[in-house]
Amino acid sequence: MKKLRIYLDTSVINFLFADDAPDFKRVTVEFFDRYPLRLLSPLEAEYDE
């Protein structure tokens, strides 16, 4: 299977630990259950200054 190239903002990953936002946490956990990190190729954001 080809790896997905995806940009995940840090806030997306932080929702894995967001006990105060259960809806966001639930969908984030579902996403990572469906697409484990071994199937993803994380991209880094580039900023021009």
CB atoms within 10 A of CB 28: 20
Is 12 exposed, middle or buried, given 0-12, 13-18 or 19+ CB atoms closer than 10 A?
Answer: middle
Alpha helices, DSSP H only, in the chain?
A: 10-14, 22-34
Residue 16 in any domain: the answer is yes
Structure tokens, 10: 């840090």
pTM, whole model, 2 decimals? 0.66
Residue 49 in any domain: the answer is no
pLDDT of residue 47: 66
Question: What range does the domain containing 33 cover?
Answer: 4-42
Residue 31 in any domain: the answer is yes
Number of structural domains found in the chain? 1
pLDDT digits (tens, 9 = 90+) for 2-44: 777 777 777 888 999 999 999 999 999 998 898 887 777 766 6
* Residue type for position 46: E
